[in-house]
């Protein structure tokens, strides 16, 4: 799956590189709307009341974001996406790995970005931000695990990306984020607890339109 995403990025980059270069300036007051496909790779770690750790699967989902330029160089970006993850308990005191069911994450994120060359055809940027993650649609696997609950909470992120100008409105974007997320988990009403760091890497590729 990761190789498929990387191949898609490479093909899109080659297509764009073959196009003629057209100057497009990011300016104060502009609104840049992007649609991306993102690959979410949790870098999970947990401390549980029964020992062991947790495993969380990767996911590919669409992402929508809106960047408003306060100045030519400084933008504020709102990022919207939701992911679904299967969670597994591994190497616990109970022995074999056990499914902990599934959970959906909705982490609205606000970042402050600095765009180094807003009037160039290649415009790199760096950003830092904060999110509040909502955990919903918790689905316990059943059997001995009948109930599971994740606490919502704040997280932080760092971001780096690059916009390539296609024409006076459209741009191609690649983006990577490192997010620090933590949640407290209660299983069967607190009979088992866990302090879980999710901390995903998020790799994105997509297109933007400037209003």
- Average pLDDT, integer, range 59-69: 96
Reduce the secondary structure of the chain to three states and give it as a string.
CHHHHHHHHHHHHHHHHCCCCCCCCCCCCCEEEEEEEEEEECCCEEEECCCCEEEECCEEEEEEEEEEECCCCEEEEEEECCEEEEEEEECECCECCEEEEEEEEECCEEEEEEECCCCCCEEEEEEEEEEEEEEEEEECCECCECCEEECCEEEEEEEEEEEEECCCCEEEEEEEEEEECEEEEEEHHHCEEEEEECCCEEEEEEEEEEC
Tokens, residue 182: 């933590």
Residue 4: pLDDT over 80:
no
List, for residues 155-192, the tens digit of each pLDDT value. Answer: 999 999 999 999 989 999 999 999 999 999 998 988 88
Domain boundaries, the chain: 2-206
- Average pLDDT, integer, range 40-54: 89
The pLDDT confidence band at residue 94, using thresholds 50, 70 and 90, is: low
Residue 121 buriedness (CB in 10 A; 0-12 / 13-18 / 19+): middle
Distance CA 108, CA 153 (A): 11
Q: Spell out the CATH class of 2-206.
A: mainly beta
Residue 9: pLDDT over 70:
no
- Average pLDDT, integer, range 199-208: 97
- Confidence (pTM): 0.83
- Average pLDDT, integer, range 21-45: 85
Give the pLDDT score at 16: 44
Average pLDDT, the chain: 87
Residue 97: pLDDT over 60:
yes
Give the pLDDT score at 7: 52
Look at residues 41, 46, 40 and name the one whose alpha carbon lies nearest to residue 187: 46
């Amino acid at each position: 799956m990761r190789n498929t995403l990387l191949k898609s990025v490479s093909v899109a980059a080659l297509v764009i590189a073959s196009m003629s270069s057209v100057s497009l300036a990011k300016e104060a007051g502009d609104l840049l709307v992007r649609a991306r496909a993102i690959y979410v790779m949790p870098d999970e770690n947990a401390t549980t009341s029964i020992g062991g750790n947790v495993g969380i699967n990767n996911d590919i989902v669409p992402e929508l974001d809106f960047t408003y330029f306060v100045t030519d160089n400084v933008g504020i970006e709102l990022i919207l996406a939701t992911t679904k993850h299967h969670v597994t308990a591994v190497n616990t005191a109970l022995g074999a790995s056990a499914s902990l069911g599934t959970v959906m994450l909705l982490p609205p994120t606000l970042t402050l970005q600095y765009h180094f060359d807003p009037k160039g055809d290649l415009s790199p940027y760096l950003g830092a931000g904060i999110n509040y993650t909502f955990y919903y649609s918790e689905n316990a696997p059943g059997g001995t695990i009948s109930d599971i609950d994740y606490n919502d909470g704040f997280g932080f992120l760092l971001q780096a990306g690059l916009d390539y100008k296609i024409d006076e409105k459209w741009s191609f974007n690649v983006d990577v984020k490192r997010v620090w997320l933590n949640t407290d988990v209660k299983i069967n009403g607190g009979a088992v607890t866990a302090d879980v760091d999710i901390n995903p890497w998020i790799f994105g590729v997509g297109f933007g339109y400037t209003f």
